[in-house]
Amino acid sequence: MSTKVLITNLGQLKTKYGSGVSQIKSAINRLIKADAARGIKTKLIEIDDPTQMQGLSAAGVTSASNYRQNKAAVDAVNKALVPDYIAILGAPDVIPHQNIINPLHGDSDPDEIAWGDIPYACEAPYSQDPKDFIGPTRVVGRVPDIQHGTDPAYLVKVLTRTADWKSHSVDQYQSYLGISAKVWHNSTALNLLNVFGSNQDLQDAPPRGPNWPPPLLTRLSHFINCHGAPSDPHFYGQQGNSYPVSHDATLIDGRLKVGTVVAAECCYGAELYDPTAVVGQQIGICSTYLANGAYGFLGSTTIAYGPADSNASADLICQYFFNSLLTGASLGRATLVARQQFAKSTPELGPEDLKTIAQFNLLGDPSIQPVETPALHESLDLIKRVRVERKKMQPEAYERENRRRQLLLQGSQIYQTQATASQIHSAKMSPNIAKAMRQIAEESGLGSPEYMSFAIERPAISGMKRRFAVLAEKMSTPSAFHVAAERFPTKETGIFQISLLVVKEQDGQIISVRKLVSR
């Protein structure tokens, strides 16, 4: 059997729900029973229970909001049990997102922290430096309740839906609802072509949305490239300076098909905010999807970036997620593969790449496998019938373990070899580079940008085999990233319109320019 741990802070759940915790426990037990029938051995871990944690040779969490304690507790559980899946149970007021520093923070990008769950998927100990978490190795997802919620009904409903999941044929996920802000039509069209092999059903907003007809809304794959805003149950399109609503949580409630999977590039698309601070107390789009039977939602907690006419940053991580999912990967494995593919998609990870890795999270049980796996190869069917030492071999378990081992090695390699921008503005612009940056910014429509410079940090090559080290030493390599960023005013409250120019310097020359905008 494969193994899964449900990790939660029961004391926090009791504080939120009082006697209603008994309903949540019943739903958890039902999920554990359903998992067992699927061949998944699930164990509930209460990281605030000192007795249970002591049994794992681990320290329990004594302060629910302490990031370091929560990270250490999850690491200890993983070390003791080595599960195939880690499911964090609860919103950030139960088990917090980790507080990773946003290297782009400044006057243009107000996100001081890029909140994320990726540290729980990494072997590195607690840190706020995003480059420590570029090599994830664990399959992790979050089954959230409502931030500061008091009614257990939402979490019970989500757990019940989770217990009842079933795989579908890949054909059912090939048709999609693809929504794009009109100004990003070309970028989204390329996304859909790369994932689904067609972009004929791309829906531009405006003029389309937000009241999507059932033939579109009930499709199982949703790919959304629109604007998002903090503590807002809407996504927004864009045409010129107009930002009409493109997606509305109230208009999808009760209208989705069970099994839906979402990848949303939108700023704050997966923010688990407190709905009591919102007019009408409407929960977010991501939370609404899960309440209506969506299996998973990949999205960002903060401001995300991508180009208008090509693919990078948020585009790529969402693409990689869906591409893996369509081959039969579980939600958690698809997320891990997407993170690893993104981390090795460029020779040097820029500051915008580090933020992207940090901020995109999976909401949903990581063990859910939306797309059924093709039938086992004939040789595996034969192996099933062979007995070794009186125990029937389990080829599925072996294949899963093999994949996990491969992903562990892949993550370790990325962590040890990938070059990244520094966490802080640690490089200087020469007069020539500064002049070129001003010219590029002016030609790109930036009037008064702020400038940032980042040194490129490279792992030591001493650990490489000699023949590779010799080649690496002879190669000329980029030395710095320079960024020009400007935030433009919008008529819509909460929508950020940020233009970002990311320049790479090598030997005193600019060798590449990437133009990005906030999603």
pLDDT in tens, 54-72: 999 999 999 999 999 999 9
475: pLDDT strictly greater than 70: no
Superfamily in which the 2-162 domain is placed by CATH: Gingipain r; domain 1 (3.40.50.10390)
- Least confident piece of the model among 342-346, 378-382, 396-400: 378-382
pLDDT in tens, 19-46: 999 999 999 999 999 999 999 999 999 9
Tokens of 274: 């407190």
pLDDT in tens, 310-323: 999 999 999 999 99
Contact 168, 368 (CB under 8 A): no
Task: Please name the residue ranges forming H helices in 292-430.
Answer: 314-325, 331-343, 351-359, 378-384, 395-417
Mean pLDDT of 451-470: 74
| Mean confidence (pLDDT) of the chain | 93
pLDDT in tens, 424-440: 887 789 999 999 999 99
Q: Please determine whether the domains at 2-162 and 165-363 fall in the same fold group of CATH.
A: yes
Contact 61, 90 (CB under 8 A): no
Q: b vs e for 273-305, b when ≥16 Cβ sit within 10 Å of the residue's Cβ?
A: bebeeeeeebbbbbbbbbbbbbbbbbbbbbbbb
- Comparing 93 with 1, which gets the higher pLDDT? 93
Cβ neighbours of residue 72 closer than 8 Å, sequence gap 6 or more: 58, 59, 125, 126
Query: Looking at residue 390, what is its pLDDT?
Result: 43
Split at pLDDT 50, 70, 90, the class of 264 is very high
Split at pLDDT 50, 70, 90, the class of 96 is very high
Query: Looking at residue 393, what is its pLDDT?
Result: 46
Split at pLDDT 50, 70, 90, the class of 488 is very high
Q: Residue ranges per domain, the chain?
A: 2-162, 165-363, 421-518
Tokens of 344: 């090795």
Q: What percent of the chain has pLDDT over 70?
A: 92
473: pLDDT strictly greater than 90: no
Split at pLDDT 50, 70, 90, the class of 330 is very high
pLDDT in tens, 215-224: 999 999 999 9
CATH number of the domain located at residue range(s) 165-363 in this protein: 3.40.50.1460
Mean pLDDT of 166-195: 97
Distance CA 374, CA 35 (A): 21
208: pLDDT strictly greater than 60: yes
pLDDT in tens, 348-396: 999 999 999 999 999 999 999 999 986 544 445 545 555 554 455 466 7
Distance CA 428, CA 481 (A): 10
